[in-house]
Structure 1
Amino acid sequence: MIEAKFEKYTLIFEKPSGTSRGVLTTKDTYLLHLREVEKGNNRGVGECGVFRGLSFDDVPHYEEKLKWLCENINLDKETLKEELRDFPSIWIGYEQAVANLLYGEALYFPSDFTDGKDSVTINGLIWMSDREEMIRQIEKKIAQKYSCIKLKIGVDLESELDILRMLRLSFPKKVLEIRVDANGAFSYDKAQMVLEQLALRDVHSIEQPIKARNISQMADLCRNSPIPIALDEELIGVVEPESKRQLLQDIKPQYIILKPSLVGGFSGSDEWIEVAESLGIGWWITSALESNIGLNAIAQYTYTKNNPIPQGLGTGMLFVNNFQSSLILKKDKLYFEKSSKVCF
Structure 2
Amino acid sequence: MTATYHKYILNFKHPSGTSRGVLKTKETWFIVLQNHGKKGLGECGVFRGLSIDDLPEYEEKLKWTCKNIHLGLVDLLNELVQFPSIQTGLEMAFKSLESENMFELFPSEFTKSKGSIPINGLIWMGSEAFMKQQIKDKISEGFHCIKMKIGAIDFQTEINLIKSIRKEFSSQDIELRVDANGAFSKEEALEKLKILSDFDLHSIEQPIKQGQIEAMSRLCEVTPLPIALDEELIGVFSKTQKQELLQTIKPQYIILKPSLVGGFKGSDAWITLAENNTIGWWITSALESNVGLNALAQYTYTKQSKLPQGLGTGGLFTNNFESPLQVKNGTLEYNISIPWNLKNLKAF
TM-score range, shorter chain: over 0.9
Superposed CA deviations along residues 274-312 of structure 1, whole A, max 9, x for unmatched, are: 000000000000001000100010000000111011000
Equivalent position to 1:219, from 211, 217, 222: 217
- Do the aligned residues in 2 keep the contact of 1:50 with 1:57 (CA within 8 Å)? yes
Structure 1 equivalent of residue 5 of structure 2: 6
Aligned position for 2:96: 100
Q: Distance in 2 between matches of 1:158 and 1:50?
A: 34
SS in 2 for 1:261: helix
Q: Which moved more, 1:12-21 or 1:78-87?
A: 78-87
Is 1:204 paired with 2:202?
yes
Asked whether the equivalents of residues 19 and 152 of structure 2 are also in contact (C-alpha less than 8 Å), the reply is yes
The structure 1 residue matched to 2:70, chosen from 53, 70, 74, is 74
Tell me the equivalent position of 1:167. 165
- Deviation track 1:161-182 (CA, whole Å, cap 9, x = no partner) reads 1000111010011111000000
- Write the distance in 2 (CA, Å) between the matches of 1:28 and 1:343: 19
Q: For residue 68 of structure 1, report the CA deviation from its aligned partner.
A: 0.7
Distance 1:80 1:323 in 2: 28
Partner residue, 1:130: 127
Scaled by the length of structure 2, the TM-score of the pair is: 0.96
- Of all paired residues, the percent bearing the same amino acid is 55
Residue 58 of structure 1 corresponds to which residue in structure 2?
Answer: 54
Distance 2:240 2:167 in 1: 45
Query: CA 1:35–1:339 in 2, change beyond 3 Å: closer, same or farther?
Result: farther
- Say which SS state the counterpart of residue 26 (structure 1) adopts: strand
Indicate yes or no: 2:88 matched with 1:89: no
Q: Which runs of 5+ in 1 are unaligned?
A: none
Task: Determine helix, strand or coil for the equivalent of 1:44.
Answer: strand
Contact 1:152 1:182 in 2 (8 A): yes
Secondary structure of the structure 1 residue equivalent to 2:77: helix
User: What is the match of residue 322 of structure 1?
Assistant: 320
Alignment of 1:127-206 (within 5 A): 127-156=124-153, 157-206=155-204
Give unpaired runs (5+ residues) of structure 2.
343-348
Q: Which stretch of the first structure deviates more once superposed, 237-246 or 321-330?
A: 321-330
C-alpha displacement at 1:78, in angstroms?
Answer: 2.3
Secondary structure of the 2:305 match is: coil
CA distance in 2 between partners of 1:223 and 1:229 (Å) = 10
Retained in 2: the 8 A contact 1:106–1:326?
no
Per-residue deviation, residues 177-199 of structure 1 (Å, max 9, x unmatched): 00000000010121111101111
Cα distance between partner residues in 1 of 2:241 and 2:73: 22
Distance in structure 1 (CA, Å) of the matches to 2:185 and 2:152: 13
CA shift for structure 1 position 79:
1.3
Q: Does 1:288 align with 2:286?
A: yes
CA deviations on 1:242-275 (whole Å, 9 max, x unpaired) are 1101100000000000000000100000000000
Q: Give the Å deviation of 1:81.
A: 1.0
TM-score scaled by structure 1? 0.97
RMSD: 0.8
Q: Partners of 2:142 and 2:238 in 1: how far apart?
A: 40
Question: 1:339 offset after TM fit, Å?
Answer: 3.2
Aligned to 1:340: 338
Tell me the distance in 1 between the aligned counterparts of 2:102 and 2:254: 32
